[in-house]
Amino acid sequence: MTVKYNVFVFDPYWDGERKYKQIISEHNMFNLVYDIENADIAISYGGDGTLLEMVSMLYQSGDISTTLVAGLNKGTVGFMANDMDETDFIDRVLNTIYNTKYVTERTLFQVYTDNKLNTLSLNEISIHPVKRGKLFVCDVCVSIPSMDIKDEHITYKGDGIIVSTSSGSTAYNLSTGGPILTPCSGRVIISPICPFSLADRSIVLPSDTEVVITPESEAEVVVDGTSKCITLRKISVKSHHDKLLLYKRDNFLKTIQEKLGWNHSIK
């Protein structure tokens, strides 16, 4: 009996023509399903925000590491979603069962508040003061087993702090002046938001880094652009043992040049 693969499509914000139903139905190895927990392949129509929303749904539904995720860019920028014709995109994603050349493994962060696992993050966790307009102070405790570093404390003062994955380096991290990393490098980036000291800068750390953030005042925890909770206690961030399987066809260096407007005259 032929094994069939289940395909889930998430397109809540796009009003354009949808060809995927016909394309998927014409392949005898695939079924279109409407429940993400049964999906072998999960496809989003929209920008990176839509893809992040689908990844959150996938995490809540069960095992996130066994489903291939792919985004068709219908948004503005799109560093994770693909800029392709819909028919070509669907055909190529379905063909990943034969050719995994463009399937990349992306690091996920585990996010704990009050010592409980709240969620996973593909891009970043940002910590902000609930009461805006006042100096926000937080203690950041860093442990890196591979470098024999344990409980090294750094104090950040400013408007907040971002802990970003390599995939998220081109998101909120970039807007704060943080570095761009290749998305599969698996690093951890800590970036201050509008720091009080001009000497404060982003720092790139190894994949086994664990970051524990303790705010001095009430703080809002935002994961991949979505507010998750308000806390006065510790927020712990570290790499998850599983990776996200992401279909991304574009050349990364070409993508950042085009998306960020490099090599263009300022005139």
Catalytic residue among 48, 159, 200, 250: 48
Residue type at 58 in one-letter notation: L
Within the chain, residue ranges assigned H as helices are 20-25, 48-61, 86-94, 172-175, 252-259
Closest CA to 111 of 131, 130, 125: 125
208 labelled catalytic: no
Distance between first and last Cα of the chain: 63
Beta-strand runs (E) in 61-159: 68-73, 103-113, 116-121, 124-129, 136-144, 149-158
The C-alpha atoms of residue 190 and residue 176 are separated, in whole angstroms, by 11
**Residue pair 209/188 in contact by the 8 Å Cβ criterion:** yes
- Bridge partners (DSSP) listed for residue 125: 163, 223
CB atoms within 10 A of CB 217: 13
- Burial category of 199 from C-beta neighbours within 10 Å (exposed 0-12, middle 13-18, buried 19 and up): exposed
Catalytic residue list: 48
